[in-house]
Chains A and B, each alone.
Chain A
Amino acid sequence: MTDDTPLISRADQVYAFLGRTPFAQEIGMRCEVMGDEMTAIMPFQDKLIGNIAIKALHGGAIGAFLELTAMAQVFLVAEHLTRPPRPINMTIDYLRQGHAKDTYARATITKMGRRMCSVQAEAWQDERSKPVTTLLAHFMVGGE
Chain B
Amino acid sequence: MTDDATPTQEPWQIMGENIELMTGGIPWGRRMSFRVTKLEKGRVWGVQPWKERLVGDPDTGVIHGGVLTAFLDNLSGMAASSSLNEARFVSTLDLRIDYMRPAEPKREIIGEAECYHITRNVCFTHAWAYHENRDKVIATAAGAFAINMPRAISTMRPF
Contacts and interface: CB of A to CB of B under 8 A. Distances in A.
B27 A50 contact: yes
A92 B70 CA distance: 11
B99 A52 contact: no
Interface string B85-98: 00001011111111
Interface in A58-86: 58-61, 63-65, 67-68, 83-84, 86
A43 B10 CA distance: 39
Interface in B1-56: 25-32, 52-56
Q: Classify chain A's interface size.
A: 35 or more
Contact of B157 (A23, A54, A58, A91): A54
B131 interface: no
A58 B29 contact: yes
A69 to B, nearest CB: 11
Contact of B94 (A55, A86, A94): A94
Given A23-B55, A54-B157, A90-B97, A59 B31 contact: no
Top 4 A-B pairs, shortest CB-CB distance: A60-B70, A64-B66, A58-B28, A23-B64
Nearest to B148: A54
Contacts, number: 125
What does DSSP make chain A's interface, helix, strand, loop or mixed? mixed
Given A63-B73, A87-B99, 8 more contacts: A58-B70, A63-B66, A63-B95, A64-B67, A67-B64, A92-B94, A92-B97, A94-B91
Nearest to A90: B97
Contacts of B69: 60, 63-64, 67, 90, 92
7 contacts: A46-B27, A53-B156, A55-B159, A64-B70, A67-B66, A94-B91, A94-B93
Contacts of A91: 94-97
Contacts of A25: 53
A143 interface: no
Contacts of B91: 59, 94, 97
Contacts of B95: 59, 63, 91-92, 94
Most buried by B among A25, A26, A65, A84: A26
